[in-house]
Homo-oligomer: A and B are copies of this chain.
Amino acid sequence: MKAFVMKEIGRVAFMEKPDPEPGPGDAVIRATRALICTSDSHTVAGGIGPREDLTLGHEAVGVVHAVGSEVKEFKPGDRVLVGAITPDWGDRAAQNGFPSQSGGPLGGFKFANIKDGVFADFFHVNDADANLAKIPEDISDDVAVYCADMMSTGFMGAEKGDIPIGGTVAVLAQGPVGLMATAGARLNGAGLVIGVESVPQRQKLARMYGADEIVDFSKEDVAERTEELTQGQGVDTAIEALGADGTFQTAVRITKPGGTISNIGYFGSGEFVRIPRVEWGVGMADKTIATGLCPGGRLRMERLLRVLGSHRVDPSHMTTHTFAFDEMERAFEVADKKLDDVVKVLITF
């Protein structure tokens, strides 16, 4: 089969690979739609170290092609969604309530990390009964594919932020994950959602997904403006959706004592992420810093599909570009170099 891989650090290409085979509890999926993620760029740039001929991609939907002998709930032909994170549910970390950490730190993150990803005609899914979800008929692949990572991660930012009904939330950066955090903050009861972003098109999307106010960090001081918007109290929840030291510091600063900094940004460089000491209340201001990794699993995916089915959110407004799988090289370039005001690139198979 055809796969789009990272040949080595800095280089991507198509290559032929043998079709994957399912183990007893696994499934093989024929991809129908996929999304390119910033993480794919990080990976190609060497963010997780060297890889050779590793198939890229972790956001996909498709049709079940084959299942192992122990799989009970799915059969070839089922239209399915696969979470970007496919945990080992029996692992200690999963038993502890943190399936994304099963098998070690971030161990649930298997696609395009410790095994081939989804940018291929077929891809392999471990523990199919636990990690697949059927897509209801009234939800299209084009929309469902956003559950895999964007919605799951973005919403998690809101969930871990412990937002009170009517609370105040700032979402720092309105990339795709930040936009879904904005939507998640609205879904989770925020009374005021402040979207921090400088790019006009993303500001517009932020408003569409529920930001009540936009703060353009290139034109105004985020801390000052947030203080104003919250009558001097700071926000209940600041969601860091960029993964940058300075943004993280701002998040700590603008959060009220007793509030939560919820991190969904991937910090790709530097030895440290720095907490501003005084604004953190010298370590005593009851400001909690929460983190996590995109929740996966059948139950999570079914819940996200329900959010789509009941029309709470339409993530497909983020699809700025669509390419056929054959055009993957061009597609990746657009996403990687952030050409042409790209937000998300959808791949069709």
- This chain: copies in complex: 4
A187–B165 contact, CB under 8 A? yes
A290 smallest CB distance to B (angstroms): 5
Identify A191's interface contact among B189, B267, B307, CB under 8 A. Answer: B307
Q: Specify which chain B residues have a CB less than 8 angstroms from the CB of A280 in the assembled complex.
A: 267, 273, 291
Given known contacts A159-B165, A165-B187, A274-B274, A94 and B98 CB-to-CB distance under 8 angstroms: no
How many positions in chain A have a CB within 8 Å of any CB in the partner chain? 86
Q: Which of A274-328 contact B (CB under 8 A)?
A: 274-277, 280-293, 297-300, 302-307, 309-310, 312
A274–B276 contact, CB under 8 A? no
CA distance A223 to B257 in the complex (A): 31
Q: Which of A97-146 contact B (CB under 8 A)?
A: 97-101, 104-106, 127, 129-131
A232 smallest CB distance to B (angstroms): 10
Determine if A201 is an interface residue (Cβ-Cβ < 8 Å).
Answer: no
Identify A98's interface contact among B89, B257, B298, CB under 8 A. Answer: B257
A291–B283 contact, CB under 8 A? yes
Q: Specify which chain B residues have a CB less than 8 angstroms from the CB of A25 in the assembled complex.
A: 25
Closest B-chain residue to A271, C-beta based?
Answer: B277
Q: Specify which chain B residues have a CB less than 8 angstroms from the CB of A273 in the assembled complex.
A: 274-275, 277, 280, 283
Q: Specify which chain B residues have a CB less than 8 angstroms from the CB of A129 in the assembled complex.
A: 90
Q: Specify which chain B residues have a CB less than 8 angstroms from the CB of A293 in the assembled complex.
A: 281, 284-286
A201-233 to B contact mask, C-beta < 8 Å, 1/0: 000000000001000000000000000000001
CA distance A300 to B97 in the complex (A): 12
A106 smallest CB distance to B (angstroms): 6
Closest B-chain residue to A69, C-beta based?
Answer: B24
Name the residue among A105, A281, A284 with the largest chain B CB count within 10 angstroms: A284
A303–B167 contact, CB under 8 A? yes
Given known contacts A99-B95, A276-B272, A293-B281, A192 and B265 CB-to-CB distance under 8 angstroms: no
The 5 closest A-B pairs by CB, nearest first: A166-B303, A90-B130, A191-B306, A98-B258, A101-B257
In the assembled complex, 25 residue pairs joining A and B whose CB atoms fall closer than 8 Å, in A order, are: A25-B25, A89-B90, A90-B129, A92-B233, A95-B300, A96-B299, A97-B97, A98-B286, A101-B257, A101-B281, A104-B257, A106-B281, A106-B284, A155-B165, A166-B302, A187-B189, A191-B312, A192-B306, A266-B282, A272-B276, A273-B275, A273-B283, A283-B291, A284-B293, A288-B290
Further contacts, 4 of them, CB under 8 A, given A269-B277, A281-B291: A95-B130, A263-B283, A271-B276, A273-B283
Binding site for B on A (CB under 8 A): 24-25, 70, 89-101, 104-106, 127, 129-131, 155, 158-159, 164-168, 184, 187-189, 191-192, 212, 233, 240, 243, 256-258, 263-277, 280-293, 297-300, 302-307, 309-310, 312
